[in-house]
Structure 1
Amino acid sequence: MPSREKLLEVIAIQTEVARLGLDLGGLMNLVVQRTLTLVGADGGVVELAEGDDMVYRAAAGMASGSLGLRLKRGASLSGLCVREGRTLHCDDALTDPRTDRAACERLGLRSMVVVPLRHDGETVGVLKAMSGRVAHFDARHIALLELLSDLVGAAMYFATRFAPGDLFHKATHDGLTNLPNRALFLDRLRASLAQAARDRQPLAVLMLDMNGLKPINDRHGHRAGDAALLEFSRRLTAGVRHSDTAARLGGDEFGVLLRPLAQEGGLEATTSRLAQQINGAFEFEGRMLPVGASMGAASFPEDGTDVTLLVELADQRMYRHKRALQHVAA
């Protein structure tokens, strides 16, 4: 039986979940973060069943760099959990035939508990607690995770009850702008890199930071800030092609996947055109508010072939651009 303190921790998580309302993405991120402390896990993941795959849609701890990772449902413990609709426990992922051993080795995962998440009577995903140690989880940990999974499943139902078929869209898109979120962006980037390597076709990643959002929020309130985010998103979407992916990665951070990379003018011409599309004031309730972006880019194969490397490189270049703009303004 879990301790009184741990049961109170579950109740505290329940309170936090209630405050999130219909924000499914926020709910999943909260749960994986709280899983770490609740059961002393090294990593926490919410995986959703999508077609033949289990996809990491929220991740924390040792799994945080694997957001968007796809595992085959038929060759993973999480896929088996969905199929059987019951909690599964693994003491050593490197010797258990039910696990995707290669994925576990990449993560450094040795033991785990996988509990089903049910939505409208159907198991649609799992909450997974991970440890880098063999046989870390015991019966108390499993009981706590099952209590938490019941809560998450119910919250998923309420978050999607007005659109029962909209679960995956809510899990993969930003609630304000309706753009793809970080998980879906990384998912598409991984898939596009694999395809680009086969086709020998270049692609590029852009990281964008929306300039001036905090001053707008501070001076005019969050309604104005939300309006600025929506205007920024509209301009960004209008400036990319249907084959590209524009995403809101969180806060004032956005990303664009350019695939294939336009041959005419290359990456420099694309970023210049996008900057012209985005930068400029817009009217909100009789006031002209500025909208602009700092941008950084990285391309495949010139700058690398790894998802994390390309994103980090584009991010570093974006911050250099941001510092240069701040220096000019000063």
Structure 2
Amino acid sequence: MNHQPYELGGVSLLLVEDENDARQMLTRMLAMRYPELRLLMAVNGAEGVAFFSEHRPDIVLADMNMPIMNGIQMAREIKSLSPDTTIIAVTAYNDPSYLMDAIEIGIRHYVLKPVNGHELFAVIDKSIEEITLKRLVREQDRKIRLNERQLSEAQKITHLGSWEWDITSGRNWWSDEMYRILGVEPGAIPAALAEFMKMLHPDDREAVEDLFKHSLKERQSFSNHYCRVVWPDGAVRILLVNGELTLDADGRPAAMIGTALDVTERRLAEEERMRLASIVESSNDAILGLDLNGTITSWNRGAETVYGYSAKEATGRHVSMIIPVEHQGEIEQIRETIVNGRDVMHFETVRIRKDGRRIYVSLTASPTRGLNGSVTGISAIARDVTERREMEELINYRAYHDTLTDLPNRQLFMDFLTLELAQARRNGKKLALLFLDLNDFKQINDTLGHDAGDQLLQEVARRLRACIRESDTVSRLGGDEFTVLMPDLGQTNDVGIVIRKILSVFMDPFMLNDIATASSTSIGISMFPDDGDSAEELIKKADIAMYEAKERGNNAYQFFNAEINARTLQRQELESFLRQAVERGEFELLFQPMVQSGTRRIMGAEMLLRWRHPHKGLLLPEQFLSVAEDTGAIVPIGEWALHSACSQMNVWNRKGYPLCLSVNLTRRQFHQPNLVEKTARILSETGLKPQLLEFEITEGTIMGDIDFSLRCMQQLTDMGINLAIDNFGTGSSSLRWIKKMPISAVKIDRSFIKNMLSAPDDLAVVNAAIAMSHCLRMKVVVNGVETESQLAAIRTSGYDEIQGYLISEPLFPGQFERLVARA
């Protein structure tokens, strides 16, 4: 067992325990742990007080639950006798209110029953440590006071600089230190009162002369007189001068001895402290000092103004008196920050004035340090920012509310809707959104004036508030548009009840400028989760439904019908984004390599298009190409894609990669009247040779207008461009037409490749298509090869090139170039 590391000589402990077994056990534990400790025992609180009064032990270790007098009462009486006595409570209670009573009395340590030896010893060790340190402090304090007395006696004779003046003979003597105080080397000038007077600051000479004259005349010594001397180098120093006059046997002045102390730094520091104290005291901000326990140690006039307490009322009390209950935790947070040597900067919080009014303050706190640099307290500055905060809150309120109707505006409504949607998702509840529009608002504005229009909006807002449930929210989005948010719906019928109330209030005329005026509304309703999951979607669909209601006449309402609107809205949105996608640079090109049979040498690549949609991410062609084709957006998209791909392929060719580019043309692209001219221009601008470009065209595209197709295909091949039939085997073309077309290659559709291992007919079609194409002197590209098994099945069929995920997935330009470089 480890022994107490402190000297126990003279340390005594009073054990107060009414239970005999517990007392004996604790006695044995203490004797083993602290053999040098003087141990006293009492069996109840009253006896404990009596023992304490007689023996004054350093530590009291006491059970709290005892007969005759309990531990709390005993501790209170002991503390009244000796406030500094350490009391350790041994208790089974850990109730906060009980512990607060103990702390209020001054019990700073406690051990819970059943007693754990390690916990008990830790508390006693800590207490002994504190007692030992207190004794050391007292001893040091005693020595300091002794030294101060000795120093005080010495200062009467020599101080830091000492001097003597023999009044009878006129002789003077200065100590070496006196010379140094005057800024000269010892013996450099004669020791004489006249020399001293010369070195005085001109503004102080008369006062010092008067001082000596008065001393001699009144036969009195003088002390603590401040004066300034000017050193030879011009430096001004402040001296504290004392003079002790001695008289001869006849009572006449005989001599004077004295001291001079250079107090320049101290005096300047005092003046600076006084200046700062004046600033602090006159500041409008609350400036207060605290010790580390939170007790207020200083309180300026600004604090009196801010908090309403006088300095006398506040000093010595705990700072918690100005802190609301819900902010009490800030005390420890700030304390921890300060103890760790950090500042608290412009922390805005709430405080309580003496009159109970709550105020906002901006708090700055920093540590105060002792001479050894340790943190000894807290210096806090609090500025009352209540007026600013209230103005900010007003501005914030106005930012989220309609100034005319005082209803939540669009921004606040969107926040409410987003919050209620999240709640509805969590709780599995329904939510309704009502979108209202006033049908006669423009006419009323035009005929009765804007004042009447404002009155109408205000009255509509008032009536709508009266129609809704307590949990509902009415908002004005702007103009003559209002919304009603109905969360936490138990049944859809609740919506119907509110709608009927709303329509009923529009049956009564509105008094506008003393004129009874009729007005009506149209209401659109969307429901969560039936009609959408987001705030924007529900608003949009309620808006759509509102316009449907307008078509039905005045004071009508319409629930959103998703079946009618969904496809149209989705398509409209896609069309809108597609029109701007090229300008915004949202399209990206990928390249999928086509490799030669046998050698697997990369011969070229098919250009594939992707759309990086701003909301939906990277989209494949099947997700947007049909819309682009129908709207005609495919024409500018295709032109950009062809130009970009040709430019990229030409770059690769100049780097020494002899690759061909294969590009798909849709029906609308191929049937452009100026396709040939546009293609020629792009080849000219990009520098790509026509022989390295191949257009892939489906059979259906060609057969749509066979005469145009044949003319266009011939013009393209005359330029040197290669043509290939894409998705061969899925169209309706015949051999008769194929033989007439200037086709150089066919691409077998991937659907045949996908199923050929499980469907022998598909494999037969693939083999037949390859054989037929070769007979017509056309190259065959097998598309969609994804596995080695598929490749093995067609290996003997005589294909020319293959393309598919087995070789490579579509790659971005940088990835494709690295693949080609490695190959």
Q: TM-score, normalised by structure 1?
A: 0.48
Q: TM-score, normalised by structure 2?
A: 0.20
Relative CO higher for 1 or 2, CA cutoff 8 Å, sep ≥ 6?
A: 1
Larger Rg: 2
